[in-house]
């Protein structure tokens, strides 16, 4: 007797009695997903971006123009439509997108892809896609992906700065870049200004960060120089870094002599703090060479 056949019941049908064997269920089997799910998170500036999608594989098939037809709305992955969340308002290829969670659809083409941000963030595939729910549509140009072909569909972030990144769609021999931009200065500058105006002594580290932010984002260089000088007045341990920043600010202001003098001072301080192998020795030499 099969050991799984454990339970017998009696059934009466038309006056006849039958033995009915009730077999127990087989143990569950956890099969791997054909298109595994994936979640990626990336901070760009002060904005958190999250993408939730599934990753199909080539598996010997023709991809774009094949199982993913040209000119047809695609879920941008497999299973549920790809979901993208922005913690703040962003721009995608210059198009304004409010903070929120959306579906990311695409329409592949040989020379042009249409990117679609859709309000309905929870839908299976693109079968219920409603263009009336689109937040924005725009076109981007795909690029060839060099050999070997990428077996598994991938979404990733590249070229990340304080204010931008590229959201990359990659599969087979195609890469589709989408430019993402965020407004960092609009948030950080009022905070810096308020902190500087508040009573109390500021740390040299805060002066350095504030001056660096203004320099990196091409803001008020006069204020940046004022803050870096205030930080240097305390003779901090990172004086060689702050002096190099001062040299960079003076160079951008057109004060070549002042920039060279500050760079040489930074080098002296860097050698004392880190030795002749300090990267600031090379950085200062490079800056001085560019000014002579």
What is the 3-state secondary structure of 182-250? CCCHHHHHHHHHHHHHCCCCCCHHHHHHHHHHHHHCCCCHHHHHHHHHHHHCCCCCCHHHHHHHHHHHH
Per-residue pLDDT reduced to its tens digit, 10-47: 444 445 554 555 567 889 999 999 999 999 999 999 99
| CB within 8 Å of 222: residues ≥ 6 apart | none
CA–CA separation, 77 and 176 (whole Å): 13
State if pTM tops 0.75: yes
Contact 86, 49 (CB under 8 A): yes
> In the structure encoding, which two tokens stand for residue 285, read together?
């030499």
End-to-end alpha carbon distance in the chain: 95
**pLDDT interval class at 93 (50, 70, 90):** very high
> In the structure encoding, which two tokens stand for residue 203, read together?
């740390």
- pLDDT value of residue 147: 81
Per-residue pLDDT reduced to its tens digit, 192-216: 999 999 999 999 999 999 999 999 9
- pLDDT value of residue 11: 46
Average pLDDT over residues 106-119: 98
């Amino acid at each position: 007797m099969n050991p799984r056949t454990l339970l017998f019941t009696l059934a009466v049908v038309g006056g006849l009695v039958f033995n009915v064997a009730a077999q127990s269920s087989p143990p569950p089997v956890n099969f791997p997903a054909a298109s595994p799910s994936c979640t990626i998170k990336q901070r760009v500036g002060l904005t958190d971006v999250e993408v939730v999608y599934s990753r199909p594989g080539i598996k010997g098939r023709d991809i774009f123009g094949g199982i993913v037809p040209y000119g047809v709305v695609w879920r941008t992955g497999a299973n549920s439509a790809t979901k993208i969340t922005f913690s703040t308002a962003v721009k995608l290829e210059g198009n304004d997108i409010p903070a929120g969670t959306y579906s990311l659809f695409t329409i592949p083409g040989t020379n042009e892809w249409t990117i679609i941000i859709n309000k309905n963030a929870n839908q299976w595939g693109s079968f219920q896609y409603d263009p009336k729910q689109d937040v924005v549509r725009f076109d981007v140009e795909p690029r060839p992906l060099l050999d070997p072909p990428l077996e598994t569909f991938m979404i990733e972030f590249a070229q990340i700065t304080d204010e931008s990144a590229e959201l990359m769609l990659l599969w087979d021999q195609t890469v589709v870049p989408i430019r993402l931009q965020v407004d960092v200065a609009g948030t950080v500058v009022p905070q810096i200004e308020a902190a500087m105006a508040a009573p109390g002594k500021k740390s040299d580290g805060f002066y350095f960060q504030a001056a660096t932010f203004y320099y990196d984002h091409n803001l008020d260089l006069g204020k940046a120089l004022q803050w870096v000088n205030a930080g240097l007045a305390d003779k901090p341990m990172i004086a060689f870094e702050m002096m190099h920043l001062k040299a960079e600010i003076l160079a951008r202001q057109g004060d070549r002599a002042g920039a060279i003098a500050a760079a040489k001072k930074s080098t002296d301080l860097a050698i004392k703090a880190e030795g002749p192998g300090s990267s600031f020795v090379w950085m200062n030499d490079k800056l001085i060479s560019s000014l002579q």
